[in-house]
Amino acid sequence: MGEFSLFLCTEPFADSRATSTIIVYFSAVLGLGTSGSTFERACNYTPKLSALIYCIRLCFLEATLPRFAHPTIGWEARLSTGQLERLNKTRHTFMCHGCQAPMGELLSLRSYGRALSRTDGPSFCVNWSDNSETVSWDGGSLYMADLKRMGQHVIQSTEASLCRLMYGTPIEIQLEKLRDRLSNQDQGYSFVQDPANGLSSAYLDLSSRACLDPIGGLMASERWKTDAVLRYLKEETELLASIMLLCFLYGGQAPRTSEMFSIECQNGPATSRGLYVDQGTLMYVTRHNKSRSSTNQEFQVARYLPPRVAELVAAYVAYVRPFANMLCRTCYGSEEERQLLFASWDRPRIPWTAAFLTKAMKKLTGEVCGVQFGVQVYRQLSVAVTERHVKSISRPFNRYDDKSVNADLDVVFAWQSGHRPLQRGTSYGIDGAYPDSLQPALLRVYYWASTEWHRFLQQDRTSDSRPNS
């Protein structure tokens, strides 16, 4: 198989025609639509070429610099020195743009596809009804009332699930009184572990109630009931799945799944947590991976949760999650606690995937809206709804504006120090209680954007969407 893969990657052109090679011919087949009568759009075809190029690179690396020898086909293990020189002999001939090899053709084709996609128009288009209460796309339609009911449906199910897992334990969390130093990078720090909040041992009360409960207790005769413990951990996973939906729906415009699933509950050895308490509520911060890969600069986005959702997430993080981790240590001998927020108890290092969220979204939308759609469609819809509804009820705001008639009067303080607002906000007087890239002025803007979304979904501080008694 190794020799055959290498042959496909190094197959010479016949009569200087790239289509004479098997891989280039196969790439042409990938460009056909599902029906076979049309071609894929450039924006849908280039990811397939990227995947094919990635596989070819792996084949070349294994053939050129294998870690272990393959004696049956005559491949020797790589040496500890001279690896770059050995790789360049192959790279210049078969892996560079313009070379007479399948990969050179694929690189050229992908560059052309990327240039073509910029003039190909958007891949997702929506249409609005006359009253702007129904949005439709190629595959379904959604009422704005159903969009608001989606989150409320998840909130109610989350509250019921949390109530079962808490065993009647009173939740003593007042977010507006919690301390959380956002710039603290100490390993293991979070607002739960901050000594001033007194939450680091709050789960012990839950542990006592869960073990001594006469009906659904987890212990009997001073021994763990393994069936009950396993059932509790499965329900904890279901609760975490509901919290995942709440963070996805109520943070504002939907984040990318790869960014949301990288959120950590507390600081790691070399990573920063993604869950914070600020301005009396919870927020989660995502690092924009796509921007970092293209510009080599960090782009962070803060999404604030509405009060009702923030209370549920805080209760889970302070009570249920530490107790579930204790059960894993005690009953299953697990020595490693979950650092990632969205990870299962039995696989603490592996984050959930987009497929997991898509499955949950399709189930939710099918029950509430009558039409199933996943993560990608909802991200597009959240942008469309923001442009149509959320921005229309908001007053445009530019925190660096100091020239127009709409400029805020506070810009005079920047002038008084001899600076423009942009220079003052990025270079002078940095608040040490906040990360350098998330200063209070920027967080206030993110808070404003999130609360506008909450107001549209009727989950802001001034609205009461709780069901009647």
Secondary structure (H, E, C), the chain? CHHHHHHHHHCCCECCEHHHCHHHHHHHHHCECCCCCCECCHHHHHHHHHHHHHHHHHHHHHHHCCCCCECCCCECCCCCCCHHHHHHHHHHHHCCCCCCCHHHHHHHHHHHHHHHHCCCCCCCCEEECCCCCEEEECCEEEEHHHHHHHHHHHHHHHHHHHHHHHCCCCCCCCHHHCCCCCCCCCCCCCCCCCCCCCCCCCHHHHHHHHHHCCCCCCEECCEECHHHHHHHHHHHHHHHHHHHHHHHHHCCCCCCHHHHCCCECCCCCCCCCCEEEECCEEEEEEECHHHHHHHCCCCEEEEECCHHHHHHHHHHHHHHHHHHHHHHHHHHCCCCCCCECCCCCCCCCCCCCHHHHHHHHHHHHHHHCCCCCCHHHHHHHHHHHHHHHHHHHCCCCCCCCCCCCCCCCCHHHHHHCCCCHHHHHHHCCCCCCCCCCCCHHHHHHHHHHHHHHHHHCCCCCCCCCCCCC
Q: What angle do CA 393, 398, 401 make, to 5 degrees?
A: 140
Residues 64 and 145 in one domain: no
- Model pLDDT, residue 55: 93
Residues 58 and 105 in one domain: yes
Residues 182 and 299 in one domain: yes
- Model pLDDT, residue 145: 94
Contacts 24+ apart (CB under 8 A), 384-392: 384/126, 384/135, 385/135, 385/144, 385/147, 385/456, 386/253, 386/453, 388/128, 388/132, 388/135, 389/132, 389/144, 389/456, 390/452, 390/453, 390/456
405 lies in some domain: no
User: Could you read off the pLDDT of 268-315 as tens digits, one per residue?
Assistant: 998 889 999 998 899 999 876 554 555 445 578 899 999 999 999 999
Q: How many domains does the structure of the chain reveal?
A: 2
468 lies in some domain: no
- Mean pLDDT of the region 328-343: 89
Residues 140 and 105 in one domain: no
398 lies in some domain: no
Residues 140 and 109 in one domain: no
- Model pLDDT, residue 467: 38
- Model pLDDT, residue 417: 53
CA distance 59 to 49: 15
| Residues above pLDDT 70, as percent of the chain | 86
Q: Which amino acid is at 367?
A: E
- Model pLDDT, residue 413: 56
The pLDDT confidence band at residue 420, using thresholds 50, 70 and 90, is low
pTM of the model: 0.79
402 lies in some domain: no
Residues 238 and 294 in one domain: yes
Which of 117, 149, 177 terminates a domain? The answer is: 117
Which of 49, 82, 117 terminates a domain? The answer is: 117
User: Could you read off the pLDDT of 84-131 as tens digits, one per residue?
Assistant: 988 888 888 888 888 888 999 999 999 998 888 877 777 778 899 999
Residues 195 and 306 in one domain: yes
Residues 370 and 272 in one domain: yes
User: Could you read off the pLDDT of 227-253 as tens digits, one per residue?
Assistant: 999 999 999 999 999 999 999 999 888
Residues 80 and 185 in one domain: no
Structural domain of 57: 2-117
Residues 94 and 154 in one domain: no
CA distance 76 to 70: 6
Residues 179 and 225 in one domain: yes
Q: What angle in degrees, to the nearest 10, is found between the helix axes of 2-10 and 42-64?
A: 120
Residues 113 and 184 in one domain: no
